[in-house]
Amino acid sequence: MDSDRPAISGDICQRVDQVLQNREVPETATSREAQRRKTRARVLDAAIVEFQRAGANSADINAIVEAAGVARSTFYFHFPTREHVLLELIRRDEDYLCAELSRFLDTRRDLPAVLNEIIRLVVALETRWGAALFRDVISLYFSPTAPEDENWTKHPTFVLLAGEIERARSRGELYDDVEAYDSAAFFLIGLHAILFSARDSGAARDETLKKFVKSTLRSLQP
């Protein structure tokens, strides 16, 4: 990474380091744990296919367990609710998103470039998941039924964005009183709200996203 990048505050720096280290250090597991993970991945893959077909609320659990070759109880052991399936999908694909964003940040970038890259990566997930499943996933961020221990600080993209906002503040590019965590959360919540409400992708939505980036920067920059 660029050695000229200024240091960021201890808490954010620690979280960024943890994100990058966790991505690079493989986990070890016993044969039983390895088998459990394989079963969980098989159930998740089957659930994704069914969720894409019918939507999260109308998905047939029997179809999922039949496709995965497991008992119905096994599904609920790994995923107590449908929301847990969506959360697992988020976490799995955020590893990919985090890796892509980390590579992007290997070269020093200004904050507008970082915000636009995050938008590009999130929209790419929409293409991978399909529009219907993507909306189901996004709705979880605003759902009162989401697991209570779920919050933005557990998402690696949030942590990396907060780190970049803090670096920009340290370089004097933002107001001195900008809170990196709050600003990262506001941006990501706003982005997901736009993508959830704008059902049709195209020039109109692209223009809305450009305006969103501009308004975000105006709120942060002196």
Read off the pLDDT of residues 40-86 as tens digits, 9 standing for 90 and up: 999 999 999 999 888 888 899 999 999 999 999 999 999 998 888 88
Collapse the DSSP code of 155 into the 3-class scheme (helix H, G, I; strand E, B; otherwise coil) and give the result: coil
Structure confidence at residue 3 as a pLDDT band (50, 70, 90): very low
- List all residues 6 or more positions away from 195 whose beta carbon is below 8 Å from its beta carbon: 122, 123, 126, 134, 138, 205
How many CB atoms lie under 10 A from the CB of residue 56? 21
Q: By mean pLDDT, which of 18-27, 71-80, 135-144, 182-191 is the weakest?
A: 18-27
State the Cα–Cα distance between residues 66 and 184, nearest whole angstrom: 41
Q: Which domains does the chain have, with CATH numbers?
A: 10-24+81-220 (1.10.357)
Per-residue pLDDT tens digits for 109-135: 999 999 999 999 999 988 888 888 888
**Residue 8 in this model has a pLDDT that exceeds 60:** no
Q: What is the pTM of this model?
A: 0.77
State the Cα–Cα distance between residues 187 and 191, nearest whole angstrom: 6
